[in-house]
Structure 1
């Protein structure tokens, strides 16, 4: 019996893809790639200083306007705040029904707020609503302090996550987006952060709410109204985050899903909410008029499995770490492509949930057009003595 797997598994599956023109798919989880040259001749988002439009699954850029320009992101900063909250929930470090005690520091935040009081306790679920719907600065700081102990340490976590996402043009000084020196991002980087946040599909259960109440039925009942009006007035929009300061002007990172295609549009530096919403609507109109996607795999879909005699779970399922799609211009003829699944050599026990064990590639001829990590969805440990004895005994019959 071997301590290691020395295994390369290659699976070729016929899938449909573009025969004429190009196919677009994501190459790396943590960046967006530029594939669509037609957008260079377009004149969209004319009211905004900077803008970008991407398709979420592939990460491909459908439109770009000064997307690398460093600008203050205002409350779009809270996209990163929500990303770290969702990660903490996924890791079991936080639960939606947990009651968080509000500090004097959190309660003292100015700007947009849900008027938390020092010493008040509110559930993570309601605080998330306060951040996602009303852009509550007080709620953001309360959650930052709960996760990291202080907002300062939480900001360090934010900037570490920026590095993990491979972003070079973002630096955070707080969890809220309130004006601060050396607090900046770009349309491109905000799109990547939004892409990462949308891996947590439950987040749109919050960002899509147009109105709700906190402390409902009490004398301190507070009416939440979404600062992103497009969730009500543009079909398919279900998030993500607005922003405004005098310096940043009006900003919005929006996401919409229609016909199985999810897009992300980011604009910064518009002079009014009307112009901001108009620019985002124009970008989304362009995406859904010109492009289609074809889903290949859902997130966490099992694509293969392997037998592992020395593991406590003998049959190990291997799943996709993210959804996998191809993107193509509407009206394009489709031909066949292949998908290849490669399992890493020398995988060692134990394996933690989420460990990358291989790659799924979408290929067209000799070209790799998409590459997605394959992971295990549960902890895999060494088999105990009884399990090894039982398997050895069964092998004789």
Structure 2
């Protein structure tokens, strides 16, 4: 890799005013792809800085992963001088992103309509809870509430009377962050033809509802409906890691050939011609019984023995790994998925890198997450604002309420 290579987005400048996880994840991906991402924080800093902050310097365990590769600038947007500086930063950028509620963005003079006249090429990305055309447009939202509203929590509970449950990762935050990156890149591509920027709005509820409905709509995809919602294979109580003689194993027998191989191996070749299991449609209708056959067969051998068998008969199977095992797995090590980063304050960190590869413009490893306001002076000087007062670190514990609801009015 060339020492000068920053990645395919080298030269792109992003001003990111988002906090917590959703917006920062989008900013992280852009930074990992080579963009210059300037993270604008209030004097108190992104609230995520305090999650698992063992060092006490505002570099918590989530923050350092979600905010690599970014410069940190502290601005008090309720102050006219800092608000002017933010306007200059945005005018100098290709992209401005935030996860403020749209009503709050308007109050702060940061709506697209306010910024576009002086920055016609600006790609403006807002990530918020709900589409502005709906009655929930002003409701606050977080990952848990969106998992509930978009059908994800109910889906985890299943259709057989189990209580709803959340996916144990901020699935909505991270998925919407990826959608935001796609929207930003699409708008940048269109700008090459038109010369004009535009606003892209990425609502959490609509994004996750569409994401979930793809396979979960079931028979309700037809109008009028020809069956109930849901996807039988996903809803089966037997779709789970299977117990082996000494542990658990994930295996998915799926195609006709895979089922033929599996039935032959467990010495039940008569099931190959069984009308219940001959086609994927019939297997889906009888999925509970089919998966129960797998669950009954696996305790006969150890996890390692089954892994060897499934490799031989070409059926996807993997061991059940925790995050520590994922990091040290032979596959992760060979693909260099996790990078060891020497943080100037925290010391060595092992962090997820960019999983995508590029043949000509490979991204450089993202720089470590910055201390709050570490780049404020440099950015001010870049814009020629030498005379402005740089917020003192001692002032950065100010009450969030002072900032016109910015903190409380995030998505």
- Give the TM-score category using the shorter length: under 0.3
Higher helix share: 2
TM-score, normalised to structure 1, is: 0.25
TM-score, normalised to structure 2, is: 0.25
Higher strand share: 1
